[in-house]
A and B are shown apart, each in its own frame.
Chain A
Amino acid sequence: MSPLSRRRFLQGSGAAVGAVAATRISIPLRSETVAAAETLEAAGRVSRDVVPTTCWIGKQDCGMLAHRVDGRVVKFEGLPENPRNLGTLCPKGQAQIMALYDPNRVKSPLVRTNAKGEPGKWRKVSWDEALGLVADKANEVRARDKRAFVWQKGRSKGAAFYDDAFVKASGAAKFSHGAFCSDAGYRAAEYTFGPKGVLHPDFRFTKYLLSWGWNVTNGGGNQLCWITWPRQMVDAREQGLEMVVIDPRLRSAGPFADQWLPIRPGTDLAFALALAHELIANDTIDREYLTKYTNAPYLVDDEGHFLREGTTPLVWDSATGSPKPDGSPGVTPELEGTFDVAGTAARPAFQLLVQHLEQYTPEFASGICGIAAERIVEIAATFGEEARIGSTIVVDGVEVPYRPVAVMAYHVVQQELGFQTTRAMMLLPMLVGAMGAAGGQQIDVKPWSVSENFEKLDTIKIQDPPKSIELAASKYYPINSTNSSLAAHVMLDPKRYGVDYLPEVMIIHMANPMASFADIPVLEKAYRKLKFVAVIDPWMSRTADLYADVVLPAATLEKYEGPSSASDQYVDAITIRTPPMEPLFESRGEIDIYLDLCERMGILFGPGGYLEQLNTSLKLKAPNVLATDRKPTPRKIFDVWAKAEGIDEGVSYFEAKGVYVKGKIPPEKAYGYAMSPPFGGVKHRLYGESLLGYRETQQELGADEVYWHDYTPLPTWRRPTMEESPARYDLYLISFKLIEHKQSRSSQIPLLAELSGGQRLEINPKTAAERGIEDGDEVWVESHNAITEETRRVKTRARLREGIRPDTVGMPHHFGEVAKSPWTKGQGPSPNSLYFTGEGYVGATADQSFHVKVRVFKA
């Protein structure tokens, strides 16, 4: 039963209209000509209103207004008050109205009647029966071994509070999508600086931007979905922003590339190191930042470890010419030189960096990246000059260091060397002191804050044998982003990794591993081993179709969900999704589903129960707290949460206005450099001593080199494993996102499938000609695993493009993900079945590489 009775729903929306009108989102009265033109049948019969909700397709939950006629949604338009989309919507946001009404949605709970591994045959059942079945299976396995109960989600829409609460209350192991996203970059940022995110500029002031694999015209960018970044970018360009595009494929940057550097895939690390080499060579270095806010001055012994007094690292005091504990008063630390400390030659970390970088000359990188050395020299020079080291600017009355140069990097980290590549990219803003400066380098779109991972990732206790199927904190992947395809590998050969159990029962929520995760063939084998799978999804995903025992139909946007930040990095705001209609068919909002499921599992009430976990994950405190002995409606949960946020109207505020704008983020919060203390008082890890520590432990525990060779304190270049493939695999395959689609939840939407409906292989005409391939020809793409010698192939159509490197081919990654939809038939294969997981194709942090060597030939 939906939490929302029709009557109350209408009351809610009534309130909405009133308030909406009050907030200038008014629906102007019909002009006289229209009034005159009103035909009798149209006149009066129609009741119109507008209620807020949020986009459900994209990542950043843009604010929307649902225009309704007699309670039926006829159009979604952007919510002007939402800082992220300012009243606008992207093609997906517009088209999702078709997803809302899609008759091919899963309409009621289904139970499988045929064997797994083949397209499903289903029996309609009641919610009661379906939830009962799931609850029993879950409890049965939890009683034996909690680790064998796995909860997997592709992407949580809004904050993951209700999922986390379920994971905690049920003790399930949690698989997420991170390792297939930009988690390598997140780990690098969390480890190096603290904030959660990768790299983006301060578009308000940035003048020179390295757009590094940023899919400006199609993809999101650091943390946010598509709309916000491109908008800030074009605005910035009108203020004179210059953009250097580093990307094997030009289409991603469209007309906004002042320079296009078609870099060879997988070589970004070398490119970054060469730029750093040049910055030092040009002495465009912000010594003050490095000395005060990074571990650059820490003295390192010849083993690579910091010299310490107690736990405090030592620095070399130039005034007294002696080592001093870091932070002791009156010390002016040296950055360069070699010093004798109690008989051992000690060097500041920065000195090591300088020496380390000597090998990475522009000529060296040029050979690897396929970009002329002059270009590298020129870019580094401009980057250094534009940084205006030492300058400051007054922002909203506060003086802030001004360094208008930055990097935008996000999905570019999806490569074997992703973690260290990001570390190397971060050297650039660090060297010129642009980190957290105005116009400089930003990491999180929310106010600058140091996450708990800053410490956690520095102090990992490696466990051997591994405690979990995803090999967290193991000697294989000490830092670990949870790669479910890697877990699938382990499931197929647990002994090899010393794992003593197998997952048996899995709840897959809004995830479609069989299409949108890498290494599909291995996933297919592994998931067949699961004893029971329940899928929560609005559509019959490929995964559900092949492996689900039970499918629970989730609502799309016609439900309460959230809360989500609506911050665009300048204005802080928060929003929740409110339903513009009741859930269609028999579908239900996830929170309803979890409340009932937990009730059936007997983990809803009382201490440690789901409700208490909700209070924890929403940080609810008395008086605004959920009773743990009564089942609330989702609306009630958000009402309590909203009041706890200090919004007296409670949830009805959002039902009326859609977004709660907290106001401008003040410079002291926006810029880490302007905080007191700056950067939250942490020292940025230019030198990753603990990484060296992990390496040593891994070696002691006998891990192979492939697991430890990237655990180096300073980013170090090596040839990616894929380069070991035989010469006939002469092309690099990259995959990319299209603006028309989002992950696995859009290719079945006809309006979007029509715009961009089929798989294709982007290939340079020169390369195509060498193979006798013409535009539109069917071609085979065959990938090769350099370690296992395994090959895989898919057939698709060639699309000739001048804007892609001749040694590189590209495929978009969203097609054919939904089964039983007339529009996904024949959309073609996913490149994800060409990628490999496991040694050589995941990074040191278990993050997925989306690079592989392939050969292409006419079908």
Chain B
Amino acid sequence: MARYGMVIDLERCNGCRACMEACKVENATPRGSYWMYVFRFEQGKYPNTKVSFLPRPCQHCDNAPCVKVCPVGARYKREDGLVATDADRCIGCRYCEVACPYGVNTFNWKEPSESYYLNWNDPDVSKVSGGAVPPYRDPDLDRRYGPEHRRIAGGGHHKDVMDKCTFCVQRVEDDRDPACVQTCPLSVIQFGDLDNPDSAVSTLVRTRANFRLLEDSGTDPRVYYLGGQEPGEQSRQIEAPEAEV
């Protein structure tokens, strides 16, 4: 069976954050919740300054610290390589979050329906949205996935449970690319079967210089970065997006 992974070409990335927005709409994530996060970095003193960008989805590690520490198996590894979060099993202890070196976990600090930016219960909006909150919420998010038949797609199922990038399981099981990959204006992000040597992603990893984030943490991530360089102490983040609950 396919074991999915992602390849991100930093030589092409413009740091436009379209992936972040595609993710937010696709997965109806609440305010302040970024499953995909794009760093913008500045390095060096004027005039020898460099600016660089780095998209950061969940790394879907093969040796995922979050999976190890989850006390109830709500965070788990799937055969297809995805690291999933069972919204119904999660007890909200946030151990996965402290265990993750990448900061990809976003907790539902309050009732998600209360943090969808605008008052979607406005009667005139409800007329067209059929009461969906947010109006663009896709019913696919509430379905169960995989042979394990668990509710692992989409943002904001419950207050006080953990969320994170799912590689858009609702799309992947539907043979579509994750939302960030689909929308990327510069085709920076590729998604596919890393176990298949002929897949585009495998070829890229084989043929081009690449690194994985914080590899010495032993997490064995399934996300590969082409070109560019791993951010270090000297990288100053600029234009960090607002993240309020």
Contacts and interface: CB of A to CB of B under 8 A. Distances in A.
A31 B175 contact: yes
B44 interface: yes
A254 B242 contact: no
B143 A91 contact: no
A98 B146 contact: no
Contact of A33 (B142, B146, B187): B146
A251 B173 CA distance: 38
A324 B214 CA distance: 74
Given A94-B22, A750-B117, A755-B17, A75 B185 contact: no
A310 to B, nearest CB: 55
A811 interface: no
A238 B143 CA distance: 42
A823 B186 CA distance: 29
Contacts of B145: 33-34, 37
B42 A39 contact: no
Nearest to B123: A103
Contact of A101 (B14, B44, B125, B144): B125
Interface in B23-50: 24-26, 31-32, 42, 44-47, 49-50
Contact of A74 (B31, B138, B175): B138
A91 B18 contact: yes
Interface of B is mostly: loop
A46 B185 contact: no
Given A95-B21, A750-B118, A756-B239, A74 B176 contact: no
A255 B50 contact: yes
A799 B51 CA distance: 15
Given A89-B183, A226-B185, A754-B31, A73 B175 contact: no
A755 B20 contact: yes
A90 B51 contact: no
A538 to B, nearest CB: 14
A250 B51 contact: yes
A102 interface: yes
B49 A98 contact: no
B88 interface: no
Interface stretch (A120-128, A459-467, A665-673, A802-810): A802-810
Contact of A803 (B49, B135, B243): B49
Interface stretch (B64-72, B91-99, B126-134): B126-134
A101 B130 contact: no
A808 to B, nearest CB: 11
A227 B185 contact: yes
A78 B21 CA distance: 13
A250 B173 CA distance: 42
B132 to A, nearest CB: 7
Nearest to B80: A33
Interface in A353-412: none
A37 B124 contact: no
A74 B183 CA distance: 15
A34 B143 contact: yes
Contacts of A802: 42, 44-46, 49
A521 B146 CA distance: 61
- Which range contains the number of B residues in contact with the other chain? 35 or more
Interface in B164-223: 170, 173-176, 179, 182-187
B142 to A, nearest CB: 7
B241 interface: yes
B147 interface: yes
A176 to B, nearest CB: 28
A1 interface: no
A379 B31 CA distance: 47
Contacts of B102: none
A739 interface: yes
Contacts of B170: 34
A94 B25 contact: yes
Contact of B128 (A101, A753, A801, A822): A101
A103 B122 contact: yes
Given A31-B175, A584-B128, A754-B242, A803 B120 contact: no
A231 B184 CA distance: 10
Nearest to B145: A37
A73 B136 contact: yes
A39 B144 contact: yes
B231 interface: no
Contact of B17 (A34, A262, A739): A739
A581 B118 CA distance: 20
Interface string B43-63: 011110111110000000000
B228 A255 contact: yes
A93 B16 CA distance: 12
A33 B147 contact: yes
B137 interface: yes
Contact of A231 (B11, B44, B186, B243): B186
B20 A91 contact: yes
A38 interface: yes
A250 B122 CA distance: 43
B15 interface: yes
Contacts of B130: 70, 72
Interface string B82-95: 00000000000000
Given A28-B175, A39-B142, 11 more contacts: A28-B176, A42-B142, A72-B128, A72-B135, A75-B136, A88-B185, A89-B18, A89-B185, A91-B16, A101-B134, A234-B186
Interface of A: 28, 30-31, 33-34, 36-39, 42, 46, 67, 69-70, 72-78, 85, 87-91, 93-95, 97-98, 101-104, 107, 216-217, 226-227, 230-231, 234, 237-238, 250-251, 253-255, 260, 262, 581, 584-585, 739-740, 750-757, 764-766, 799, 801-806, 822-823
8 contacts: A37-B146, A37-B173, A88-B186, A91-B17, A94-B22, A231-B186, A253-B51, A803-B49
Interface of B: 10-12, 14-18, 20-22, 24-26, 31-32, 42, 44-47, 49-53, 117-120, 122, 124-125, 128-130, 132, 134-140, 142-147, 149, 170, 173-176, 179, 182-187, 228, 238-239, 241-243
State the 8 A-B residue pairs at the shortest beta-carbon distance, nearest first.
A750-B117, A103-B122, A94-B21, A101-B135, A88-B185, A37-B144, A91-B21, A802-B49
